[in-house]
Structure 1
Amino acid sequence: MELVGEFVRVETDEEHSAVAVIRIDRPKALNALNAQVTREIAEAAAGVSADASVRSVVLYGGERAFVAGADIKEMADLGHAQMLEYSRGLQNALTAVARIPKPVVAAVSGYALGGGCELALAADFRVAGAKAKLGLPEITLGVIPGAGGTQRLPRLVGPARAKDLIFTGRHVRAQEALEIGLVDEVVADEEVYAAAVARVARFADGPAVALAAAKETVDRGLETDLDSGLEIERLHFSGLFATEDQKTGMRSFIERGPGKAEFSGR
């Protein structure tokens, strides 16, 4: 597939046709999130979500920066009423990324700060280059993260570590980010994109409906109590018995052993 905006485009990886790449490309501003970039990210997320040929997604900002942050010049003079609307668009765009019903990995090179870090947090996995820096420096501007950072970060690294990063606004280098669970893998800077693609390309031949169900069950379960989460799991588990992939997978297990099923994604 190919969707193109001025600053965000969706491409197909050259070697893996089922992997879509949401490429953020606003180089003069280190990919800073202004209203237009945010809107184009939301459109890209909707596009890859709806395209059945896409089985997994990479978020990529290029070699210099993932996303350096929000566009401070654009928002500095906004009033309260204006920011209520502006922040809704920003949150909705990143939530659209988080709800892509397919495995999503953020390929982080250079800076992933503020809104950039929040965008990375909306992915399922994060691969960082050795020189990458991540953080939520909003407190140094007299505000707090407003695009999911106060909610997604503590769910990922725990409340104490999240408060440390949010209260101080400090930048975290890749190795520390790996140690605290903020990223899942650190590779040489020139290998970031390839490593990110490799991480999600393995899902291309998997049972797409079951993968979507697994993602939604985990994500929704984190937002509720255990009993409600178990009920969400039970309903999704049972629902998958209406899919072609369930029949294929279990029949293949019985006849050929584990790990040999060829799924259709239906």
Structure 2
Amino acid sequence: MAVTVERVGDDIAVLTFSEPPVNLYSIEMHADFDRALDEVEASLPRALLIRAEGKIVSGGVDVSQFHDQKTLADTKALYDRMIELPDRVAALPIPTFFAAHALTLTWAFEVALACDIIVASEKAKFGLVERVIGLTPTMGGTQRLASRAGVGRAKEFVFTGALYDAATLERWNAINRVLPVDGFEDAVMELVASIAIGPTKAFGAAKDILRHFEAGGVPEANAHTTAIASELFNTEDLQGGMESFLKDGPGNATFSGK
């Protein structure tokens, strides 16, 4: 299988994709992703890390899959299938992370943008390079990049088809952190673990509120915030967290993710 899931540490799921030599997207790889995400959803971890094996994260998409389509309807069906992957990642109710250790093109960057936190090594570069075949990104990367970095930056990124380094995208707020190449994987896991031990359901509630914000701004988010936050009343983490705060002061609570 091109995609595997391993459970590590404090209930962290590590989803790794590997399709040598350059991790091109294919429908077959997508099917492996679906099986892996089925496994994740069947027993939700407290955090999910998506990463790649190989010298690069991905060289892009197997273009023959586009060229093999003979009608507009067939092409639309393929694109509809492709966008399901980042949408499924974005819908997960747990903190999600993407680790980009090197070159990350097209579909892989679009999946990264669907994650909550993107961490890149200093040598990582990113690109939505669909212009080279006369296409525009089809997996939500344009709009998700605009959500993070602004519409003007998204246009520049897509129109130029250029490669942008991690430092530039961190400055744009498109990615969250840039870490040294040496010790990259350990540093990523340290970050993931620090969040995985937190109040997982509260993080899921924050994601719900932010989905409403993305859909309609502050008024839309405000209209749903109290209902979403109230649903945390019966969680072990909120009740235990309040008791710990009152008894032992702030910062001493431990959370089960329930």
Q: How is 1:1-266 mapped onto 2 (pairs within 5 angstroms)? A: 6-13=1-8, 16-28=9-21, 30-52=22-44, 54-78=45-69, 79-266=71-258
Alignment-mate amino acid for residue 65 of structure 1? I
Q: Deviations over 1:175-212 (max 9, x none)?
A: 21222122222223343322222221112222221111
Deviation at 1:95, TM superposition (A): 0.8
Query: Could you tell which deviates more after superposition, 212-221 or 248-257?
Result: 212-221
SS at match of 2:15: strand
Cα offset for 1:74? 2.1
Give the AA of the match of 1:72. V
Alpha carbons 2:85, 2:111 under 8 Å: kept: no
> What are the superposed Cα offsets for residues 136-186 of structure 1, whole Å, 9 maximum, x if unpaired?
111221010000012101001011111100111111012212221222222
TM-score normalized by structure 2?
0.94
Q: Which residue of 2 aligns with 1:3?
A: none
> Partner letter of residue 75 of structure 1?
F
1:110-147 deviation line (CA, Å, top 9, x unaligned): 22111111011111111112221101111221010000
Tell me the SS of whatever aligns to 2:216.
coil
Match of 2:13, SS state, is: strand
Percent of residue pairs bearing the same amino acid type: 30
- Which 5+ residue runs of structure 1 have no aligned equivalent? 1-5
Give the distance between the partners of 2:251 and 2:38, measured in 1 at CA.
32
Distance 1:195 1:63 in 2: 18
CA distance in 2, matches of 1:218, 1:203: 18
TM score, norm. by length of structure 1 = 0.91
Question: Could you tell me whether the CA contact under 8 Å between 2:148 and 2:174 is conserved in 1?
Answer: yes
For 1:150 and 1:35, locate their aligned partners in 2 and report how far apart those are by CA, in whole Å.
21
* Inter-CA distance 62–188: structure 2 relative to 1 (3 Å threshold): farther
* Cα distance between partner residues in 2 of 1:162 and 1:260: 42
Residue 67 of structure 1 and its aligned partner are, at CA, apart by 2.2
The range that moved more, 253-262 or 73-82, is 73-82
Shift in Å, 1:225: 3.5
Aligned residue pairs, count: 257
Structure 2 alignment gaps of length 5 or more: none
Conservation of the 8 A alpha-carbon contact between 1:19 and 1:197: no
Give the SS at the match of 2:57.
strand
